[in-house]
Amino acid sequence: MTAVHRAVLEAQGPVLQFDHPLINQDVRSDIPVVVNIFGTTARVAAGLGVNLDGLDGLGQFLAALRAPTPPDGLRDAFSRWPMLKAALATRPKIIKLAPVQSVVHIDSDVDLSMVPVQTHWPGDAGPLITWPVVITRPYAGAADNVSGYNAGIYRVQVLDQNRLIMRWLPHRGGAAHHRSWATHNEKMPVAIVLGANPATLLSAALPLPENVSEMTFAGALNGSRPRMVPAKTVPLLVPADAEIVLEGWVAPTETAPEGPFGDHTGYYNPAEPFPVMHVSAISHREAPLYLSTYTGRPPDEPAIIGEVFNRLALPTIRAQIPEIHDLWLPPAACSYRIAVVSIDKRYPGQARRVMMALWGMLPQFSYTKLIVAVDTDIDPRNWDDIAWALATRMDPSRDVMLLESTPMDYLDFASPQPGLAGKMGIDATTKIGSETSRDWGQVMHTSDADFAFAETLIERVLPELRQ
C-alpha cells in the first residue's frame, strides 16, 4: 500500500481508498484505509478552508494571533481580522450522542488488530499509526476546559492487543503534560483521534500560539463550533464526528522500545524507549474509515504540508524580522533542515543577524542546520539563482558562519551527538561597506526597452516558442 501511495503522490494523483486491506495473509479488514488526502498543496489549503491564493491572508491572520496590531478598539480589530474573533471566542459544543461512539469496545473487548494499521516499510518494527491527533491535558487542567488541551501529531506504535507506544519528544506538548502527571505519580488520560477532519489534523500540526487551542482553531477554520463528546473511559472530551477514537492511560514511568521505523529523513531510526499507553476503549462510527499516510524521504504528505506551512509562517517571520523578503524551506531537505532567505540588505553584517534571528525565533528553526542568505534579486526557490549567488557573492573564508553544540533533531544521524549538532550560515549577499575592501561588480540587466522588443518579436514572429 505504501508503494502504491508513493507512486500516486509523486504523480500528484488523487486520494486513494483501499476498501478491504489485508490484516495478514488470511484476514481482510472491513475498515477501508484512506491515504493521500494531503498529496497536493491545493488539498492542504482546502483542509485549511482556503484556496492557494488565500494562504497569504491566513498567514497574516496567524501573525495577528501572535502579535495583533494595536487596534482602534475591539470593533476595529474584529473588522480587520474577522477570523480572530472566531478563533478566540469559539467554544466547543458538548453533545451526548456522537457518531464516533456508535460502536464502543471497552476493556476486555479492546482489540487493536481490528484497526488496519499499516506496516509501511520492510524494516519497520510493526504497525505504525501515522495520522493520530493525540489529545492530552495537564494535571491541573479540568476535563471540560478544551482551551487547555494539547492536540499533537505523534508517532504511535501498536505494541499488542491493547497497548501502544507514544513517541513524543521532550519539547512537545504531550510530553510536557505527561511530566505534569508523572510528577504526581499518576497515570495520564489520553485520547487518540483517528480520522479527524482535515482542519483538526492540520491545526494539530500548525505552530499555533500557546494561548490558542488547536480544537477551537479548527472550529474557526471550519466556520462552526467544534462538536465534542465526553470519552467513555477517560476524563477528556473528544471530537464527536471523528472516525475512530482510542482511549486510554499512560503510566508515569512505564516505557517500551519504540521502533525502528522509517522516518522523514529517509533512514530508519533506532529503537528508543518511550511511554506506553494502555487502551481502555475503542469507539468508532458504524462504518469507519482509517486515515493513514507514510513518512519517508520527500516527497511525502508531511513535506507537502510543510510547503504550505512555509507560506503561512512568512508573515509571522516578517513581523519579527522585517527585512526578510522571502523564505524557502526546500522540501527535499526534509522540509526544515535547509532554509534559503532573501533579505532587503541595508548595512554590513545584516545577513548574519538575520540568520541568528531565524535560529532563535521559532522552535522549528532550531533544527535548521544550514541557512543561505541572498539578496532580493535572487529567487530563493530557484536553485540556479542560489548557485549563481553562491558562486559570485560568497567567499568561503569570509562568508561562512559556523556554530557548535546547538539543538538538533534527535533523528539527524549526521549529528555528532543525539539532539546536539552544529549549524552553518552562508552569506551569499552583495557585500557592502566594511564587508569588503574592493569595488563590487555591477549586475548585468537587459534594458526594459530591449526586453519589451524581444517579447513583441516572440509574440508576433515566433509564436511556437510560447508553446
Contacts of 467 (CB under 8 A, 6+ apart): none
Phi, psi of 404 (to 5 degrees): -120, 155
**Secondary structure element (H or E) that encloses residue 239, with its range:** strand 237-239
Peptide bond preceding 189: is omega within 30 degrees of 0, i.e. cis?
A: no
**411: region left, alpha or beta (phi > 0 left; psi from -120 to 50 alpha):** alpha
Count CB neighbours of 389 within 10 A.
Answer: 26
263 is catalytic: yes
Query: CA 65, 69, 75: angle at the middle one, nearest 5?
Result: 90
Question: Exposed e or buried b for every residue in 87-115, given b needs 16+ CB within 10 A?
Answer: bbebebeeeeebbbbeeebeeeebebebb
Q: Are 363 and 376 in contact (CB under 8 A)?
A: no
- Active-site residue identified among 30, 107, 263, 385: 263
Which triple of cell numbers denotes residue 341? 532567505
SS3 53: helix
Biggest alpha carbon–alpha carbon distance for the chain? 80
Q: Which residues have C-beta within 8 Å of that of residue 460, sequence separation ≥ 6?
A: none
- Say if residue 239 is exposed, middle or buried (CB neighbours under 10 Å; 0-12, 13-18, 19+): buried
Q: What is the distance between the alpha carbons of residues 165 and 128, in angstroms, rounded to a whole number?
A: 10
Tell me which DSSP letter residue 265 carries: T
Radius of gyration (C-alpha) of the chain in whole angstroms: 25
Mind telling me the catalytic residues? 263
